[in-house]
Amino acid sequence: MKAIEISIENYTKALNKLIEGINQANDELDRDGVLQRFEFTFELFWKTLKLILKYEGFECRSPRSCIKEAFEKDYIVDSETFLDMLEDRNLSSHVYDEKISLEIYERIKNIYLVKFVDSSKSFQDYVRNL
Protein backbone atom coordinates (compact mmCIF):
# COMPACT_ATOMS: atom_id res chain seq x y z
CA MET A 1 0.00 0.00 0.00
CA LYS A 2 2.82 2.40 0.89
CA ALA A 3 4.42 1.73 -2.52
CA ILE A 4 1.21 2.87 -4.23
CA GLU A 5 1.13 6.08 -2.20
CA ILE A 6 4.77 6.81 -3.02
CA SER A 7 4.16 6.09 -6.70
CA ILE A 8 1.16 8.42 -6.76
CA GLU A 9 3.19 11.12 -5.04
CA ASN A 10 5.99 10.76 -7.61
CA TYR A 11 3.47 10.79 -10.46
CA THR A 12 1.87 13.96 -9.08
CA LYS A 13 5.26 15.66 -8.82
CA ALA A 14 6.10 14.71 -12.41
CA LEU A 15 2.69 15.92 -13.57
CA ASN A 16 3.24 19.27 -11.85
CA LYS A 17 6.61 19.58 -13.59
CA LEU A 18 4.93 18.79 -16.92
CA ILE A 19 2.33 21.51 -16.28
CA GLU A 20 5.09 23.94 -15.37
CA GLY A 21 6.95 23.10 -18.58
CA ILE A 22 3.86 23.58 -20.73
CA ASN A 23 3.12 26.93 -19.07
CA GLN A 24 6.67 28.17 -19.67
CA ALA A 25 7.37 26.75 -23.14
CA ASN A 26 8.35 29.49 -25.57
CA ASP A 27 10.62 27.86 -28.12
CA GLU A 28 11.79 24.56 -29.58
CA LEU A 29 14.14 23.82 -26.68
CA ASP A 30 11.32 24.34 -24.17
CA ARG A 31 9.01 22.10 -26.20
CA ASP A 32 11.69 19.41 -26.24
CA GLY A 33 11.79 19.68 -22.44
CA VAL A 34 8.01 19.23 -22.33
CA LEU A 35 8.35 16.09 -24.46
CA GLN A 36 10.92 14.73 -22.00
CA ARG A 37 8.67 15.54 -19.05
CA PHE A 38 5.76 13.90 -20.87
CA GLU A 39 7.77 10.69 -21.34
CA PHE A 40 8.68 10.66 -17.64
CA THR A 41 5.11 11.42 -16.53
CA PHE A 42 3.73 8.68 -18.75
CA GLU A 43 6.19 6.16 -17.31
CA LEU A 44 5.13 7.03 -13.77
CA PHE A 45 1.47 6.93 -14.81
CA TRP A 46 1.55 3.39 -16.15
CA LYS A 47 3.81 2.10 -13.38
CA THR A 48 1.35 3.50 -10.82
CA LEU A 49 -1.42 1.67 -12.66
CA LYS A 50 0.69 -1.46 -12.51
CA LEU A 51 1.08 -1.19 -8.72
CA ILE A 52 -2.64 -0.58 -8.20
CA LEU A 53 -3.57 -3.49 -10.44
CA LYS A 54 -1.07 -5.76 -8.68
CA TYR A 55 -2.61 -4.78 -5.34
CA GLU A 56 -5.99 -5.73 -6.83
CA GLY A 57 -4.64 -9.12 -7.95
CA PHE A 58 -3.89 -8.51 -11.63
CA GLU A 59 -0.37 -8.77 -13.02
CA CYS A 60 0.26 -6.63 -16.09
CA ARG A 61 3.62 -6.61 -17.79
CA SER A 62 3.37 -3.80 -20.31
CA PRO A 63 1.92 -0.31 -20.49
CA ARG A 64 -0.66 -1.51 -23.03
CA SER A 65 -1.92 -4.37 -20.85
CA CYS A 66 -2.04 -2.11 -17.77
CA ILE A 67 -4.05 0.54 -19.62
CA LYS A 68 -6.52 -2.01 -20.96
CA GLU A 69 -7.01 -3.64 -17.55
CA ALA A 70 -7.30 -0.26 -15.79
CA PHE A 71 -10.03 0.70 -18.25
CA GLU A 72 -11.87 -2.56 -17.57
CA LYS A 73 -11.70 -1.86 -13.83
CA ASP A 74 -12.79 1.80 -14.30
CA TYR A 75 -9.54 3.29 -12.99
CA ILE A 76 -9.30 5.27 -16.22
CA VAL A 77 -12.15 6.43 -18.42
CA ASP A 78 -10.62 6.76 -21.88
CA SER A 79 -8.28 3.90 -22.77
CA GLU A 80 -7.91 5.03 -26.39
CA THR A 81 -6.35 8.35 -25.41
CA PHE A 82 -3.93 6.62 -23.04
CA LEU A 83 -3.03 4.15 -25.79
CA ASP A 84 -2.42 7.14 -28.08
CA MET A 85 -0.16 8.55 -25.38
CA LEU A 86 1.77 5.28 -25.36
CA GLU A 87 2.29 5.52 -29.11
CA ASP A 88 3.39 9.16 -28.84
CA ARG A 89 5.73 8.32 -25.95
CA ASN A 90 7.33 5.64 -28.12
CA LEU A 91 7.60 7.99 -31.09
CA SER A 92 9.06 10.85 -29.08
CA SER A 93 11.64 8.71 -27.33
CA HIS A 94 12.87 6.74 -30.35
CA VAL A 95 12.50 9.02 -33.36
CA TYR A 96 13.22 12.70 -33.69
CA ASP A 97 11.36 14.59 -36.36
CA GLU A 98 10.60 18.26 -35.71
CA LYS A 99 7.14 18.08 -37.28
CA ILE A 100 6.15 14.97 -35.31
CA SER A 101 7.55 16.48 -32.10
CA LEU A 102 5.45 19.61 -32.57
CA GLU A 103 2.34 17.51 -33.22
CA ILE A 104 2.98 15.46 -30.07
CA TYR A 105 3.61 18.64 -28.07
CA GLU A 106 0.23 20.01 -29.18
CA ARG A 107 -1.51 16.76 -28.15
CA ILE A 108 0.22 16.86 -24.78
CA LYS A 109 -0.93 20.43 -24.22
CA ASN A 110 -4.46 20.10 -25.59
CA ILE A 111 -5.49 16.49 -24.88
CA TYR A 112 -3.12 14.46 -22.74
CA LEU A 113 -2.63 16.93 -19.90
CA VAL A 114 -6.34 16.81 -19.00
CA LYS A 115 -6.25 13.00 -18.93
CA PHE A 116 -3.16 13.02 -16.70
CA VAL A 117 -4.85 15.45 -14.29
CA ASP A 118 -8.01 13.32 -14.24
CA SER A 119 -5.98 10.18 -13.55
CA SER A 120 -4.14 11.94 -10.73
CA LYS A 121 -7.49 12.70 -9.10
CA SER A 122 -8.60 9.09 -9.63
CA PHE A 123 -5.40 7.80 -8.02
CA GLN A 124 -5.93 10.08 -5.02
CA ASP A 125 -9.54 8.85 -4.71
CA TYR A 126 -8.35 5.26 -4.92
CA VAL A 127 -6.02 5.69 -1.95
CA ARG A 128 -8.66 7.53 0.09
CA ASN A 129 -11.15 4.71 -0.49
CA LEU A 130 -8.87 1.90 0.69
What pLDDT, on a 0 to 100 scale, did the predictor assign at position 57? 95
3-class DSSP assignment, residue 93: helix
From residue 114, how far is each of 38, 99, 121, 130 by CA, in Å? 13, 23, 11, 25
Is 97's pLDDT higher than 90?
no
Q: Where along the chain do its domains lie?
A: 2-128
What pLDDT, on a 0 to 100 scale, did the predictor assign at position 43? 97
Contacts of 22 (CB under 8 A, 6+ apart): 34, 108, 109, 113
The predicted-structure confidence for 11-60, as pLDDT tens digits, reads as follows: 999 999 999 999 999 999 999 999 999 999 999 999 999 999 999 999 99
Give the pLDDT mean for 109-125.
Answer: 96
What pLDDT, on a 0 to 100 scale, did the predictor assign at position 101? 92
Is 98's pLDDT higher than 90?
no
Residues 112 and 78: beta-carbon distance below 8 Å = no
CATH of 2-128, one of 3.40.605.10, 1.20.120.330, 3.40.109.10, 3.30.365.10: 1.20.120.330
What pLDDT, on a 0 to 100 scale, did the predictor assign at position 74? 86
